[in-house]
A and B are shown apart, each in its own frame.
Chain A
């Protein structure tokens, strides 16, 4: 269900966007960002160059754009509304905050312990040890699930937090406990 009716010129915008993308890819990106051109001649031997395949892909996008342009007057075209873009922005911000929390909570806790205690710990050395390896994943994952549930329900409840914690525990049990070779986020990066 959508709160706002999408623009009726959605096909026109999609067509123009596709044609513009096709032109940029074919004339600029594929041409100047490939190691060889469309056709490669080495010692009178002709072969296909690296730029040909992306140029053909661009031609496909352009051709599709022209076809959609022919349907620009169709009624009730599915398209993007401002509400869609607002949702997407809010969602991406939530992802960014959750992933940042996931990435930095573990090292931050270790730094705090080093700051206030006597220890000289390194998260990099602890990242394969419980409970350190779960701190970031649990913090970021719980936030992501809780906020999404709360956002849809329109209120933050203890139930949504408990569900998120249980879900994260289940994911740890599924991906980490049985396997030594799998790393939960963010332990492959730090």
Chain B
């Protein structure tokens, strides 16, 4: 089995999988249908202020698993749907930002700066087309980098890193995430420590489930979905509900200014925005490949880099922040190019870098048969490695989603503008109930709902004290893997207490972990910015 055989089998797994229906004798696979459904849902969710892609992914997961089961055939349709949601939400976030000056997702904030002035000037449709073109370009570029880099990086990790180095790499990733997310490295480390602590409750190798206080409830540990949905989704819903409650809702129904003039996207426009897209796509891809750094920072950096270039080269054109199409292009290309690159650490190292990646890992864990990490990319020659076929199948679903984005994404995006009119104070209680129901159908016990509420309260408190919940979630997911790798490394080195420092590579990773934390201590805190 050569590399090209695996690629071909991955493509076939997507296009020749179980049939959904046929058109004129042409079989349409269920995976393609699910990618399209996820992509459309993602755009609608992204276009709705108060909702986010990871929320939709979390709520869809139990339904998808019930519909497709736990068989190997379930992996590509389920993952295809989730990837579609992830990509659609990134595109959809620009819609309310441009039409109503309200970013649908946090990373679309910079889009409002130029998108809304264009709408006020009667150029809303053109602004949406620019956002769509830039977003699809950035996303496609990022996916190509993912497809080229992830297998290469995974092979390097498997070839050169032994157990102590892998342990040190996990510690380095977690230290990096804790350091870069949020305004305070101290709070990031507390969040990470809490995530590790929660992961270790009710687990361990001894007959007695540790930290269970002798109770049956804690002895089973916390289910991953409950903890993740609680901290990430419920925590955000609680905070938003309170913000709405304090801000007794004024009648701020958005209005759309009258549109006029040429709304088409011409080749001249594409040539004009292309350098900004290219630069931002590279920035977003590099940022996305680093675990923990989100698309909001990528959008900010892409916008700033674009603004500097624009001011230097074209001082006579419309300035950034005043309705410059280049501003929309720079932002949308940067935030969209994060999504593909974010899967580089997931697929090559098994380390989730953002909330969407967390739910992709959760899906693979629920279905089974595919464990993201370096072992996926074993190019076995004699027997077929089904995980590698699935990996190339996933890459194919990403490209299919991109094809949908290029062809029909723009039209769906323009139609999704209506979602901004859904009142948030009605939407959030329904999302709360939807999330609780999603948790219950997986856990089938009220205790699971109470655990989720508990984690939701923790997520709420974290947000209120300025602590990011993402290090908690990532540490919770990686905690078990970290302990298992450390136990194996300790045993393999004959009980050497310094096993993390004896090999040069492991020592380098540990040194970098300390350096990241130390360096982050020197940057301004959230209060000093």
Q: Which residues of A contact B (CB under 8 A)?
A: 1-3, 6, 10, 14-15, 18, 22, 25, 29-30, 33-36, 45-48, 50-51, 53-54, 56-71, 74-80, 83-84, 87-88, 91-92, 95, 99, 102-103, 137, 141, 144-145, 148-149, 151-154, 160, 163-164, 167-168, 171, 174-175, 178-179, 181-189
A185 and B446 in contact, given A1-B247, A67-B186 (Cβ under 8 angstroms): yes
A71 near B197: Cβ-Cβ < 8 Å: no
Please indicate the chain B residues that have their CB under 8 angstroms from the CB of A77 in the complex.
Answer: 466, 527
Q: How far is the CB of B28 from chain A (nearest CB, A)?
A: 21
Please indicate the chain A residues that have their CB under 8 angstroms from the CB of B437 in the complex.
Answer: 137, 141, 171, 175, 184-185
Among B63, B210, B526, B528, point to the contact of A50 (Cβ < 8 A): B210
Which chain B residue lies CB-closest to A102? B446
| A-B CB contact pairs (8 Å), 6 listed | A2-B246, A53-B204, A61-B190, A68-B186, A103-B446, A152-B241
Within B204-228, which residues are at the interface with A (CB < 8 Å)? 204-208, 210-213
A178-B204 Cα distance, complex, nearest whole Å = 39
A84 near B243: Cβ-Cβ < 8 Å: no
A184 near B441: Cβ-Cβ < 8 Å: yes
Among A63, A78, A188, point to the contact of B189 (Cβ < 8 A): A63
A182 and B429 in contact, given A2-B246, A34-B206, A171-B434 (Cβ under 8 angstroms): no
Q: Is B254 an interface residue (CB 8 A)?
A: no
Please indicate the chain B residues that have their CB under 8 angstroms from the CB of A64 in the complex.
Answer: 186-193
B449 near A99: Cβ-Cβ < 8 Å: yes
A65 near B186: Cβ-Cβ < 8 Å: yes
A123-B287 Cα distance, complex, nearest whole Å = 55
Among B193, B197, B212, B491, point to the contact of A47 (Cβ < 8 A): B491
Among A68, A171, A175, A188, point to the contact of B184 (Cβ < 8 A): A68
B425 near A79: Cβ-Cβ < 8 Å: no
Q: Is B264 an interface residue (CB 8 A)?
A: no
A163-B206 Cα distance, complex, nearest whole Å = 51
B245 near A152: Cβ-Cβ < 8 Å: yes
B453 near A182: Cβ-Cβ < 8 Å: no
Interface residues of chain A: helix, strand, loop or mixed (majority): helix
A30 near B208: Cβ-Cβ < 8 Å: no
Q: Which residues of B contact A (CB under 8 A)?
A: 62-63, 66-67, 184-194, 196-197, 200, 204-208, 210-213, 238, 241-249, 425-426, 428-430, 432-434, 436-438, 440-441, 443-446, 449-450, 453, 457, 460-461, 464-467, 479, 482-483, 486-487, 490-491, 495, 521, 525-528
Among A10, A15, A33, A168, point to the contact of B433 (Cβ < 8 A): A168
Q: How far is the CB of B61 from chain A (nearest CB, A)?
A: 12
Interface residues of chain B: helix, strand, loop or mixed (majority): helix
A60 near B189: Cβ-Cβ < 8 Å: yes
Please indicate the chain B residues that have their CB under 8 angstroms from the CB of A174 in the complex.
Answer: 63
A153-B433 Cα distance, complex, nearest whole Å = 18
A180-B491 Cα distance, complex, nearest whole Å = 47
B433 near A60: Cβ-Cβ < 8 Å: no
Q: How far is the CB of A4 from chain B (nearest CB, A)?
A: 10
B186 near A186: Cβ-Cβ < 8 Å: no
A57 near B196: Cβ-Cβ < 8 Å: yes
Q: How far is the CB of B411 from chain A (nearest CB, A)?
A: 26
B428 near A148: Cβ-Cβ < 8 Å: yes
Which chain A residue lies CB-closest to B483? A53
A47 near B440: Cβ-Cβ < 8 Å: no
A68-B190 Cα distance, complex, nearest whole Å = 9
A79-B247 Cα distance, complex, nearest whole Å = 18
A107-B192 Cα distance, complex, nearest whole Å = 42
A185 near B440: Cβ-Cβ < 8 Å: yes
A60 near B196: Cβ-Cβ < 8 Å: yes
A35-B214 Cα distance, complex, nearest whole Å = 11
B441 near A182: Cβ-Cβ < 8 Å: yes
B197 near A14: Cβ-Cβ < 8 Å: no
Please indicate the chain A residues that have their CB under 8 angstroms from the CB of B495 in the complex.
Answer: 45-47
B433 near A35: Cβ-Cβ < 8 Å: no
A91 near B184: Cβ-Cβ < 8 Å: no
A53 and B479 in contact, given A48-B490, A74-B527 (Cβ under 8 angstroms): yes
Please indicate the chain B residues that have their CB under 8 angstroms from the CB of A30 in the complex.
Answer: 210-211
A92 near B210: Cβ-Cβ < 8 Å: no
Which chain B residue lies CB-closest to A171? B437
A14-B191 Cα distance, complex, nearest whole Å = 12
Among A67, A79, A80, point to the contact of B521 (Cβ < 8 A): A67
Among B196, B211, B242, B487, point to the contact of A34 (Cβ < 8 A): B211
A76 and B527 in contact, given A50-B210, A84-B242 (Cβ under 8 angstroms): yes
Please indicate the chain A residues that have their CB under 8 angstroms from the CB of B238 in the complex.
Answer: 88, 91
Among B184, B196, B432, B444, point to the contact of A183 (Cβ < 8 A): B444
A59-B193 Cα distance, complex, nearest whole Å = 8
Among A18, A88, A154, point to the contact of B190 (Cβ < 8 A): A18
B425 near A152: Cβ-Cβ < 8 Å: yes
